[in-house]
């Protein structure tokens, strides 16, 4: 598998049914939730750093993906910087002040609330749709969205399909329905199944699907489910399988002579149709909605308005034809199988997403350079802004770094951390401070610690005498952060520590005196400068400026790491540009009026 040249930090965010990283192997799971897990795995396999936020009963790492409960979003909003944020289905999440260069809405439904989405268009860059039918629905209901629509497809875990179906024997008298009940099961049980059963008294209809008992449903759907439940009890030859995990579900689907789906629901893709075709299982369904695109074998599609008398007669004739001539049906299914497997591999689709994301992120540099530069400057990444504009910025000369809004609390935290270092190393020692505040931090720490504290000059380091070196508001101002860290580390005795106190985020919007930073350092930047070393990181939020999804965070990272260790790393020169969003027009105008760009 090709691995990406650029490793993106990607977040997938959704709501709805609870799941975790191993849910497809352990339980029945809805189509959009399955897609989320499998796409996350495919992106991680390409080398990207992927996090999934959902209703997660079992957080943690699974197959290279970090799964987190959606309650973590409050913390993640301040601490995480994503290159790409993919919101699956629930577009109200675009209101969250999550830091991401590209915001993508991955749609799995028809558009029921166009006005609600229209209110969030300024927070949305791309809108992924799963078929031409899906795109027409969105463009028709919200024409201003048309330019942001991008087609993609649902994928399949082909390895799982292959392994699960090995050795399965197909039962010529077993048919199945696997979709949600309200999408066509009543039509099947009332009008089609009795006549199929009359023609083949030994025919069995197996029903399976993920449970919706605990899902909030409209009253009309609840009534439909109750009517269907009565029909199931009254219908001979019907077997309830209940919810099945993917492996068992695929074994079942591969064992059936037919998938019966007289669809009356506006499917925008239909995962079950893709899965049946990929397993070589014949099917009979409606030539309507996106099924006309998803189902690649025309003989599997029934024309006419679903539910009409003409449709029902044609549907019955087609199902009987396939039951009477199973070899012909399987030959058609084999043709469909090859086509579907070539188009719907998650690994291939992940590569297409990667190309799309990188192309869109790259195109912004030329099309929106001033707006991006304004955001970079206000987030403290002046170096990236100057690189983007290919010129130095004529900024006011900055004096000493201003005090923190909670200066006393910050100094207390630094002092407590240094006491912990001394305890770990078995005794006190001299503490060095490299700061941009004209000795304020060194003086305050000296007042709180019972050991010598001195201000250091990183250009003339004292050779190996310090228990620890505190670096405050200097690393992010250095043209060469790795070289700066190396000089600071040279001040430490063997076994000593570096304690970084780094201003991160939109400090210029929070308080004056913060335009001198060259780098906006986040978690991943700090770790990239200290590769292979154990690093203890904590984030101290300091403010949130703005409104809605366009709010800007400011905070401080504290990082404690051994002074000695593997060679120091380097910053990704393009990372700051990837994860920043263009400044809104009113903010860009204000930055220009101030003469900052």
Range name among 197-201, 296-300, 397-401, 475-479 with the lowest pLDDT average? 397-401
| pLDDT value, residue 510 | 86
Residue 576: how many CB atoms within 10 A of its CB? 29
Domains 9-151 and 158-343 share a fold: yes
| pLDDT value, residue 303 | 97
- Condensed to tens digits (0 to 9), the pLDDT of residues 81-108 reads 999 999 999 999 999 999 999 999 999 9
Q: Torsion angle, CA of 486/492/497/501, rounded to 10 degrees?
A: -60
Q: Which of 381, 380, 388, 332 is nearest to 361 (CA)?
A: 388
Q: Torsion angle, CA of 157/163/166/169, rounded to 10 degrees?
A: -50
| pLDDT value, residue 288 | 97
Q: Measure the CA–CA gap between 346 and 258, rounded to whole angstroms.
A: 25
pLDDT at 2 over 60: no
How far, rounded to the nearest angstrom, does the alpha carbon of residue 499 sit from its chain's CA centroid? 32
| pLDDT value, residue 461 | 62
- Condensed to tens digits (0 to 9), the pLDDT of residues 325-371 reads 999 999 999 999 999 999 999 999 999 999 999 999 999 998 999 99
Q: 130 and 107 in contact (C-beta within 8 Å)?
A: yes
| pLDDT value, residue 465 | 86
**Of 291-300, 361-370, 386-395, which has the strongest mean pLDDT?**
291-300
How does residue 546 score in pLDDT terms, banded at 50, 70 and 90?
A: confident
Q: Does residue 323 or residue 216 have the better pLDDT?
A: 323
| pLDDT value, residue 545 | 83
pLDDT at 527 over 90: yes
Express as a percent the part of the chain with pLDDT over 70. Answer: 97
Mean per-residue pLDDT for 262-291? 97
pLDDT at 462 over 70: no
Q: Measure the CA–CA gap between 532 and 343, rounded to whole angstroms.
A: 40
- Condensed to tens digits (0 to 9), the pLDDT of residues 408-439 reads 999 999 999 999 999 999 888 899 999 999 99
| pLDDT value, residue 210 | 63
| pLDDT value, residue 254 | 98
Q: What is the DSSP letter of 507?
A: H
Tokens of 366: 């030329």
Q: 100 and 117 in contact (C-beta within 8 Å)?
A: no
pLDDT at 74 over 60: yes
| pLDDT value, residue 93 | 93
CATH topology of domain 158-343: Rossmann fold (3.40.50)
Q: Measure the CA–CA gap between 220 and 224, rounded to whole angstroms.
A: 6
Coil vs helix vs strand at 289: coil
Each domain of the chain, given as residue ranges in start order, spans 9-151, 158-343, 407-577
| pLDDT value, residue 31 | 86
CATH 3.40.50.150 holds for 407-577? yes
Tokens of 593: 């009026």
- Condensed to tens digits (0 to 9), the pLDDT of residues 3-18 reads 567 899 999 999 989 9
- The CATH label, of 3.20.20.80, 3.40.50.300, 3.90.1150.110, 3.40.50.2000, for the domain at 9-151 is 3.40.50.2000
Residues 6+ apart with CB under 8 A from 431: 418, 445, 449, 451, 452, 453, 454, 466, 467, 468, 469, 470
Q: Measure the CA–CA gap between 335 and 342, rounded to whole angstroms.
A: 11
């Amino acid at each position: 598998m090709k691995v990406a040249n650029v490793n993106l930090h990607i977040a997938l965010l959704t709501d709805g049914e609870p799941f975790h990283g191993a849910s497809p192997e352990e339980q029945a799971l809805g189509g959009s939730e399955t897609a989320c897990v499998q796409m996350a795995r495919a992106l991680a396999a390409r080398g990207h750093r992927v996090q999934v936020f959902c209703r997660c009963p079992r957080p943690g790492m699974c197959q290279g993906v970090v799964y987190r409960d959606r309650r973590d979003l409050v913390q993640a909003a301040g601490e995480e910087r994503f290159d790409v944020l993919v919101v699956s289905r629930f577009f109200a999440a675009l209101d969250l002040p999550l830091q991401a260069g590209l915001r993508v809405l991955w749609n799995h439904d028809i558009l029921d609330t166009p006005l609600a989405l229209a209110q969030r268009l300024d927070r949305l860059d791309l809108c992924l749709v799963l078929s031409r039918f899906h795109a027409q629905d969105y463009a028709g209901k919200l024409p201003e969205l048309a330019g942001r629509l991008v087609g993609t497809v649902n994928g399949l875990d082909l390895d799982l399909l292959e392994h699960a179906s090995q050795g399965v024997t197909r039962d010529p008298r077993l048919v199945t329905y696997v979709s949600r009940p309200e999408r066509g099961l009543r039509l099947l049980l009332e009008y089609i199944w009795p006549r199929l059963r009359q023609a083949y008294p030994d025919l069995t209809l197996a029903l399976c699907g993920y449970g919706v008992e605990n899902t909030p449903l409209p009253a009309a759907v609840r009534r439909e489910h109750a009517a269907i439940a009565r029909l199931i009890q009254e219908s001979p030859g019907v077997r309830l399988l209940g919810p099945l995990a993917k492996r068992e579900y695929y074994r079942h689907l591969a064992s059936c002579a037919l998938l019966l789906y007289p669809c009356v629901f506006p499917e925008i893709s239909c995962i079950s149709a893709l899965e049946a075709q990929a397993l070589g299982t014949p099917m009979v369904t409606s030539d309507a909605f996106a099924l006309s695109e998803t189902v690649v074998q025309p003989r599997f599609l029934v024309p006419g308005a679903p539910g009409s008398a003409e449709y029902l007669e044609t549907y019955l004739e087609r199902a009987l034809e396939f039951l009477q001539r199973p070899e012909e049906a399987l030959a058609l299914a084999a043709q469909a199988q090859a086509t579907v497997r070539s188009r719907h591999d998650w690994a291939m689709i992940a590569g297409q997403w990667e190309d799309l994301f990188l192309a869109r992120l790259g195109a912004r540099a030329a099309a929106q350079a001033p707006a991006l530069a304004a955001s970079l400057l206000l987030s403290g990444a002046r170096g990236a802004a100057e690189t983007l504009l290919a010129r130095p910025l004529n900024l006011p000369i900055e004096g000493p770094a201003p005090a923190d809004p909670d200066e006393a609390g910050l100094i207390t935290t630094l002092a407590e951390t240094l006491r912990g270092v001394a305890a770990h190393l078995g005794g006190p020692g001299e503490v060095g401070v490299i700061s941009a505040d004209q000795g304020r931090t060194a003086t305050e720490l000296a007042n709180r610690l019972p050991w010598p504290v001195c201000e250091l000059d990183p250009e003339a380091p004292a050779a190996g005498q310090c228990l620890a070196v505190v670096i405050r508001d200097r690393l992010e101002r250095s043209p060469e952060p790795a070289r700066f860290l190396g000089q600071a580390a040279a001040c430490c005795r063997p076994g000593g520590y570096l304690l970084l106190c780094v201003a991160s985020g939109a400090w210029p919007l929070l308080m004056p005196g913060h335009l001198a930073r060259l780098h906006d350092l986040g978690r991943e930047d700090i770790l990239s400068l200290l590769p292979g070393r154990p690093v203890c990181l904590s984030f101290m939020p300091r403010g949130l400026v703005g409104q809605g999804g366009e709010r800007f965070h400011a905070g401080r990272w504290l990082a404690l790491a051994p002074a000695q260790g593997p060679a120091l790393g380097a910053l990704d020169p393009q990372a700051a540009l990837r994860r920043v969003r263009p400044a809104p027009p009113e903010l860009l105008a204000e930055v220009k009026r101030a003469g900052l760009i």
